[in-house]
């Protein structure tokens, strides 16, 4: 007999509280991975549970010809200013059916629900589908990379992907892409006492700053994903001393890409700016470099393509039917995230149909108010199982 949602929900909630209590900053997920692997094994429904070279934890259920990946990233951002929290962010406080703490939205609830969803399924479906339940690492630092690694370097090949980023129990189908870009401007150092002998890199940067502010206003708007954007996140300069003319200046840009915008188009716009041309400034995509908890070095350019699954896509439609089954009181709606997700790899780079469904409100992610209702855990667990049935039908 398959378990019922009502019977598994208290166990989902208990497991969620356990994994909230284990801090798991990006690159420091070793302990939480061990805890999740232990839970998956203890459930005794998975055919295989393992950890890949990057440190993602994976539970495989079934050996059918088509494969569904249920992905929840299990790293979280830091807690910021502890004084702003009303309670210990790692205590996983439960009050009146709500669980609080870092990761209680983004996105440990999905991990707990996805882990338990196969308990609701008829084992006979194992012939028809393979489910990979993935707890992915490093997402907060380099969205997409963990699934890129799992799919292209570990040979786990899904036909469909469901992301556990918060959607407040709606079906989401994409988001804007993003890039981290640097603009480097060179000057010529001289003693500050005779500064006219130098070329001040900061002065050469000034017109570029204003041009970027104007460029933002001109960027493309898309009815589904919203507007592309660019903003300067940081500025750095160099000089031989504080008694010198600045010989270098670097701008760090956050660029959000809407539908139709690409890496090439975003770089070309910046390179065409009059101030960039006049200063012969160097425009480049930043390199992301880090080390996974397993010790594996990670490097990737900081370009995260736009990700959209079309609304007619069979996975999107199956998602809507599963949402209607799991939450009959609320007609399912399609939506998109404002932030970027592991979908940049699965949909954006690899073209694998990808949707999102999870409890929790997106606007609470990374905030001191992260919280999830236990009744929403029940809906999400039910949804993941209902989606599998839809995909097998
Ligand atoms: Zn997230």
Whether residues 169 and 61 share a domain: the answer is yes
Pairing state between β 248-257 and 229-238: antiparallel
CA 338 to ligand 1 centroid distance, Å: 11
> Has residue 1 got a pLDDT over 90?
no
Candidate list 39, 52, 71, 75, residue with the active-site label: 75
pLDDT band with cut points at 50, 70 and 90 for residue 90 = very high
Whether residues 198 and 282 share a domain: the answer is yes
pLDDT band with cut points at 50, 70 and 90 for residue 235 = very high
DSSP 242: T
Q: Span 169-187, mean pLDDT?
A: 97
Let me know if 310 is a catalytic residue: no
pLDDT in tens, 207-228: 999 999 999 999 999 999 999 9
Q: What's this model's pTM, rounded to 2 decimal places? A: 0.92
Pairing state between β 66-73 and 129-136: parallel
CA 287 to ligand 1 centroid distance, Å: 21
Provide DSSP, 326-378: H-TTS---EE--SS--THIIIIIIT---EEE--SS-GGGTTSTT-EEEHHHHH
Give the number of other CB atoms < 10 A from CB of residue 369: 14
Phi, psi at 120, each rounded to 5°:
-85, -5
Let me know if 75 is a catalytic residue: yes
Whether residues 165 and 195 share a domain: the answer is no
Whether residues 283 and 318 share a domain: the answer is no
Distance separating alpha carbons of residues 372 and 109, to the nearest angstrom: 8
Whether residues 118 and 215 share a domain: the answer is no
CA 73 to ligand 1 centroid distance, Å: 6
Report yes or no on 297 lying in a domain. Answer: no
Per DSSP, what are the bridge partners of residue 238?
Answer: 248
Asked if 322 contacts 390 with a C-beta cutoff of 8 angstroms, the reply is yes
Whether residues 337 and 372 share a domain: the answer is yes
Q: Helix (H, G, I), strand (E, B), or coil: what is residue 388?
A: helix
CA 109 to ligand 1 centroid distance, Å: 11
Q: What is the mean pLDDT of the chain?
A: 97
**What is the model's pLDDT at position 386?**
98
**What is the model's pLDDT at position 87?**
95
Give the number of other CB atoms < 10 A from CB of residue 197: 11
Whether residues 212 and 338 share a domain: the answer is no
CA 106 to ligand 1 centroid distance, Å: 5
Distance separating alpha carbons of residues 31 and 137, to the nearest angstrom: 12
DSSP H/E element including 196: none
Whether residues 186 and 205 share a domain: the answer is yes
| Full domain range(s) for residue 213 | 177-291
Buried b (16+ CB within 10 A) or exposed e, 320-332: bbbbebbbeeeeb
CA 339 to ligand 1 centroid distance, Å: 9
Whether residues 134 and 116 share a domain: the answer is yes
pLDDT in tens, 32-83: 999 999 999 999 999 999 999 999 999 999 999 999 999 999 999 999 999 9
Q: CB under 8 Å, gap of 24 or more: what pairs does 216-225 form?
A: 219/258, 219/261, 220/258, 220/260, 220/261, 221/258, 222/258, 222/259, 222/260, 224/174, 224/259, 224/308, 224/336, 225/174, 225/175, 225/176, 225/258, 225/259, 225/306, 225/308, 225/336
pLDDT band with cut points at 50, 70 and 90 for residue 2 = confident
Report yes or no on 300 lying in a domain. Answer: no
pLDDT band with cut points at 50, 70 and 90 for residue 301 = very high
Whether residues 261 and 372 share a domain: the answer is no
- Percent of the chain residues past pLDDT 70, beyond the cut: 100
In this structure, the chain runs to a length of 393
pLDDT in tens, 120-152: 999 999 999 999 999 999 999 999 999 999 999
pLDDT in tens, 257-289: 999 999 999 999 999 999 999 999 999 999 999
Candidate list 139, 143, 261, 376, residue with the active-site label: 139
Domain count, the chain: 2
Report in angstroms the alpha-carbon separations of 49 from 5, 58, 124, 133: 23, 6, 20, 9
Whether residues 190 and 167 share a domain: the answer is no
Give the number of other CB atoms < 10 A from CB of residue 305: 20
Q: Span 2-18, mean pLDDT?
A: 96
CA 199 to ligand 1 centroid distance, Å: 44
């Amino acid at each position: 007999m398959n378990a019922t949602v009502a019977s598994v929900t208290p166990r989902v909630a208990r497991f969620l509280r356990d994994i909230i209590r284990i801090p798991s900053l990006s690159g420091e997920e070793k302990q939480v991975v061990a805890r999740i692997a232990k839970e998956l094994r203890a459930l005794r429904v998975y055919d295989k549970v393992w950890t890949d070279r990057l440190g993602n934890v994976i539970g495989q259920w079934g050996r059918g010809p088509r494969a569904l990946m249920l992905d929840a990233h299990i790293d979280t951002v830091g807690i910021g200013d502890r004084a702003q929290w009303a309670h210990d962010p790692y205590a996983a406080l439960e009050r009146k059916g709500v669980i609080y703490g870092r990761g209680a939205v983004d996105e440990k609830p999905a991990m707990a629900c996805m882990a338990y969803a196969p308990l609701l399924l008829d084992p006979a479906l194992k012939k028809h589908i393979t489910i990979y339940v993935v707890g992915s690492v490093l997402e907060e630092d380099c969205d997409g990379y963990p699934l890129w690694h799992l799919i292209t370097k570990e040979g786990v090949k899904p036909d469909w992907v469901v992301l556990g980023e918060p959607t407040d129990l709606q079906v989401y189908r994409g988001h804007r892409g993003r890039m981290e870009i640097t603009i480097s401007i060179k000057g010529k150092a001289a003693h500050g006492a005779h500064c006219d002998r130098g070329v001040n890199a900061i002065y050469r940067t000034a017109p570029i700053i204003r041009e970027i502010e104007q460029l933002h206003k001109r960027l493309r708007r898309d009815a589904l994903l919203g507007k592309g954007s660019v903003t300067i996140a940081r500025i750095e300069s160099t000089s031989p001393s504080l008694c010198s003319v600045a010989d270098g200046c670097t701008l760090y840009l956050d660029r959000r890409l809407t539908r139709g915008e690409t890496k090439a188009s975003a770089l070309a716009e910046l390179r065409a700016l009059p101030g960039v041309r006049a200063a012969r400034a160097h425009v480049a995509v930043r390199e992301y470099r880090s080390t996974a908890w397993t010790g594996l070095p990670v490097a990737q350019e900081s370009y995260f393509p736009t990700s959209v699954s079309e609304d007619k896509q069979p996975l999107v439609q199956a998602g809507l039917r599963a949402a209607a089954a799991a939450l009959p009181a609320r007609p399912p709606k399609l939506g998109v995230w404002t932030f970027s997700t592991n979908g940049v790899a699965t949909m954006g780079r690899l073209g694998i149909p990808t949707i999102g469904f999870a409890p929790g409100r997106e606007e609470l992610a990374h905030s001191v108010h992260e919280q999830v209702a236990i009744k929403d855990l029940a809906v999400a667990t039910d949804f993941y199982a209902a989606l599998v049935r839809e995909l097998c039908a």
